[in-house]
């Protein structure tokens, strides 16, 4: 009896992000692009933007991106400190999450 290869899956983690961790980006419009190490389920993934006062806003994103990316733009972002929380369902069926803190500067 021969063994069949089994695909190896890993939890999805961000391997590249815009904005980068602790980056300073020029506002008022902020482009967001997260690239993961594996496919993510766009329908079950979420982005939440939190400002320095703790106000949270869900950020819609295009479901029409490569399977290992989440991309969007947020308009009219005031200068200040923010964190982007991402939650994704990875190809291995596990929910993973993380935070990307960044600062928006004036135009």
DSSP line for the chain: -PPPP--------EEEEESPTTEEEE-SSEEEEEEESS-EEEEEEEEEEEETT--EEE----S-S-TTEEEEEE-SPPSEEEEEEEEEEETTS-EEEEEEEEEEEP-
pLDDT tens for the chain, 107 residues long, are 444 444 445 689 999 999 999 999 999 999 999 999 999 999 999 999 999 899 999 999 988 889 999 999 999 999 999 999 999 998 888 899 999 999 999 87
Instruction: Kindly report the pTM of this predicted structure.
Output: 0.85
């Amino acid at each position: 009896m021969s063994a069949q290869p089994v695909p190896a899956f890993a939890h999805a983690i961000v391997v590249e992000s815009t904005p980068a961790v602790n980056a300073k980006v020029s506002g008022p419009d902020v482009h967001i692009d997260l690239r993961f190490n594996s496919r993510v389920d766009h329908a079950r993934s979420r982005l939440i933007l939190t400002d320095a006062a703790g106000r949270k806003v869900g950020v819609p994103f295009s479901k029409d991106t490569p399977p290992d990316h989440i991309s969007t733009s947020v308009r009219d972002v005031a200068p200040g400190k923010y964190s982007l929380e991402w939650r994704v369902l990875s190809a291995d069926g596990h929910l993973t999450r993380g935070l990307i803190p960044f600062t928006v500067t004036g135009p």
